[in-house]
């Protein structure tokens, strides 16, 4: 098979199944001499580096439309990936040419637009402020095209100063940022927007942003830099939680990003136990919890698997984000790197060990007597650490545990798990990839079969009752306000239960402070 067709076929396989490039070559049945395979592998890796910029280029020079006869939409390999490898060689390879016969139709078709493609590429380079077109590849492969900053409401609750979300918007406006109503990627310079999935807490900035360096919002802990996908596990585990329901655990907590988000989603109420085995990382966790004002977190240095579940009779929710291969971290895309057979064996052995440890953690979490929800996540893209661990955990749960339905696990997130691994249940879990403007990530949510649904219904019921109660308290507090306007000014128009709750507690805190000052 033609060299470019083989590379495109392997890319098709990679798009569909993820995993390693080498594995995709084998799975796509791309056979050839050792030299040929190496050449194809190198082309795939280089093409992936430039994929974002090539896709952008194809929006201005739409070759699939302009050369419809050659690049049919339903071909094998796909026209999309065949075009990417051809364009890579024409625009970014050291020789700057497509190494195929001049009579090969795909080459002829691309070359008909060669001059326009090169001119548009230079335009993209200038727009991105890069000194050469090759620099465009560096930017695309080392970032996720956006920077995320999470607003931490715990600071707003505990400080007299206004650290509300509306104050943050005002602060950013004063710094010259415009707030967009809808997401735009790449995020335009000096702009930002609220993330469409985590609308209440996550702000999305251009990838090159550095505004927080030395800024009081960042320094105070009111803004925390955290990748979007890394926020998901905390969001899923705390969804619908009510202080009346019970206590929570973050089993593998350091450096503490997810713990601090869980604490924020709990409104810094109730009790969140956080465990961390490594002494050094435990210290980092404590610093983070202090800075983020996580007053409801009880941190313990220790091994989660050595805890006695009976000592935690009120824990209903557990987050498990254990050590993993980290293969999803974008600027650590080492899974793309060529590996020889010995390294492949080492990698398989490492994944096997990690998966055994990950399964052990889930099985321990299942033993907590009152636990109803266990969220398991990794920053790995390997099925060995994701869907396969989930499948083994379900099998070992003796029918007492099942995966929560899609509605509980970010239903609007489109990329779900691998069907070939989990069948229909793949819809219950989520995967994230750099194409989604995040690091590679995996999130699953187990619920206890006997009580899963009831807990959710109960949580919803108590949540509604609480909203009503909080709204009443809020109205009362408004009436009682002694008229200096401070409380009203510091309290944004509250809408959700969490916001109402925050407003109520902040008012109480301010009243206490005013009384103490008199
Ligand atoms: C992927 S990191 C957790 C990241 C964290 N959830 C965050 O978002 O900031 C995994 C952590 O679990 C810790 N760990 C590994 N095994 C553990 C165990 N058995 N008990 C407690 N902590 C453990 C590791 O030291 C590491 O700090």
Report the nearest atom of ligand 1 relative to the CA of 281. 27
Give pLDDT, residue 494: 38
pLDDT tens profile 95-128: 999 999 999 999 999 999 999 999 999 998 888 7
283 band by pLDDT with thresholds 50, 70 and 90: very high
Q: What is the 3-state secondary structure (H, E, C) of 199-252?
A: CCCEEEECCCCCCCCCCHHHHCCCEEECCHHHHHHHHHHHCCCCCCCCEEEECC
Ligand 1 pocket check for 321: Cβ under 6 Å = yes
For the chain, the domains span 3-141, 147-225, 236-450, 457-517
Give pLDDT, residue 377: 98
Q: Which residues are catalytic?
A: 379
Residue stretches of the annotated binding site for S-adenosyl-L-methionine: 276, 303, 321
368 band by pLDDT with thresholds 50, 70 and 90: very high
Give pLDDT, residue 485: 31
Ligand 1 pocket check for 257: Cβ under 6 Å = yes
Q: Is the pLDDT score of 327 beyond 80? A: no
Report the nearest atom of ligand 1 relative to the CA of 379. 1
Q: Is the pLDDT score of 465 beyond 70? A: no
Query: Domain 236-450 has what CATH class?
Result: alpha beta
Percent above pLDDT 70 for the chain: 78
Give pLDDT, residue 118: 95
- Locate tokens 């990329």: which residue? 415
Give pLDDT, residue 492: 36
Cα–Cα distance measured from residue 100 to residue 89, given in angstroms and rounded to the nearest whole number: 11
End-to-end CA distance of the chain: 85
Name which of 81-90, 95-104, 303-312, 499-508 the model is least confident about. Answer: 499-508
What are the φ and ψ backbone dihedral angles of 492, each rounded to 5 degrees? -65, 160
Name which of 32-46, 170-184, 244-258, 267-281 the model is least confident about. Answer: 32-46
pTM of the model: 0.69
Q: What are the tokens at 136?
A: 């465009």
What are the φ and ψ backbone dihedral angles of 223, each rounded to 5 degrees? -125, 125
Ligand 1 pocket check for 254: Cβ under 6 Å = yes
Question: What is the mean predicted confidence (pLDDT) over 426-446?
Answer: 93
Report the nearest atom of ligand 1 relative to the CA of 278. 25
CB 347 within 8 A of CB 382: no
Ligand 1 pocket check for 331: Cβ under 6 Å = no
CB 402 within 8 A of CB 449: yes
Give pLDDT, residue 423: 96
Query: Domain 147-225 has what CATH class?
Result: alpha beta
CA of 233 to the centre of ligand 1 (A): 14
Cα–Cα distance measured from residue 487 to residue 159, given in angstroms and rounded to the nearest whole number: 13
Fold: same for 147-225 and 236-450: no
Q: In 209-220, which positions are buried (b, 16+ CB within 10 angstroms) versus exposed (e)? A: bebbeeeebeeb
């Amino acid at each position: 098979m033609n060299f470019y067709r083989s590379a495109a076929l392997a890319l098709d396989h990679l798009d569909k199944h993820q995993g390693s490039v080498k594995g995709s070559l084998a799975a796509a049945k791309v056979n050839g001499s050792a030299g040929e395979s190496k050449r194809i592998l190198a082309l795939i890796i280089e093409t992936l580096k430039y994929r974002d910029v090539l896709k952008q280029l194809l929006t201005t020079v739409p070759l699939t439309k302009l050369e419809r006869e050659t690049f049919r939409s339903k071909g094998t390999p796909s026209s999309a990936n065949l075009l990417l490898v051809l364009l890579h060689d024409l625009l970014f390879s050291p020789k700057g040419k497509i190494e195929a016969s001049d009579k090969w139709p795909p080459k002829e078709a691309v070359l008909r637009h060669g001059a326009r493609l090169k001119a548009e590429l230079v335009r993209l380079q200038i727009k991105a402020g890069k000194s050469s077109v090759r620099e465009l590849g560096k930017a695309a492969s080392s970032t996720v095209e956006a920077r995320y900053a999470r607003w931490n409401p715990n600071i707003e609750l505990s400080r007299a100063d206004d650290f509300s979300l509306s104050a943050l918007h005002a602060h950013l406006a004063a710094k010259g940022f415009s707030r967009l109503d809808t997401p735009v990627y790449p995020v335009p310079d000096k702009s930002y927007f609220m993330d469409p999935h985590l609308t209440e807490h996550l702000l999305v900035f251009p990838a090159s942003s550095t505004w927080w360096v030395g800024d009081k919002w960042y320094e105070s802990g009111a803004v925390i830099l955290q990748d979007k996908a890394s926020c998901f596990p905390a969001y899923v585990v705390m969804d619908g939680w009510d202080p009346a329901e019970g206590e929570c655990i973050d089993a593998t907590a350091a450096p503490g990003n997810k713990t601090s988000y869980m604490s924020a989603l709990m409104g810094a109420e109730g009790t969140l136990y956080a465990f961390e085995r490594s002494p050094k990382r435990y210290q980092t966790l404590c610093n983070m919890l202090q800075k983020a004002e996580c007053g409801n977190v009880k941190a313990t240095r220790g091994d989660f698997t050595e805890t006695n579940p009976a000592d935690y009779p009120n824990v209903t929710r557990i987050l498990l984000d254990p050590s993993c291969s980290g293969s999803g971290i974008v600027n650590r895309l080492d899974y793309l790197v060529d590996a020889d057979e010995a390294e492949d064996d080492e990698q398989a052995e490492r994944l096997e060990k990690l998966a055994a440890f990950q399964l052990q953690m889930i099985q321990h979490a299942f033993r907590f007597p009152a636990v109803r929800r266990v969220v398991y996540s990794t920053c790995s893209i390997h099925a060995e650490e994701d869907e396969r661990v989930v499948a083994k955990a379900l099998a070992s749960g003796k029918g007492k545990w099942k995966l929560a339905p899609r509605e509980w696990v970010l239903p609007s997130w489109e990329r779900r798990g691998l069907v070939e691994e989990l069948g229909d249940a793949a819809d219950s879990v989520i995967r994230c990839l750099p194409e989604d403007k995040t690091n590679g990530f995996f999130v699953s949510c187990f619920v206890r079969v006997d009580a899963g649904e009831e807990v959710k219904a109960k949580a919803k019921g108590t949540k509604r009752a609480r909203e009503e109660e909080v709204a009443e308290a809020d109205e009362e507090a408004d009436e009682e306000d002694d008229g200096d306007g401070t409380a009203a000014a510091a309290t944004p128009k509250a809408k959700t239960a969490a916001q109402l709750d925050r407003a109520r507690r902040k008012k109480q805190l301010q009243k206490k402070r005013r009384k103490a000052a008199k």
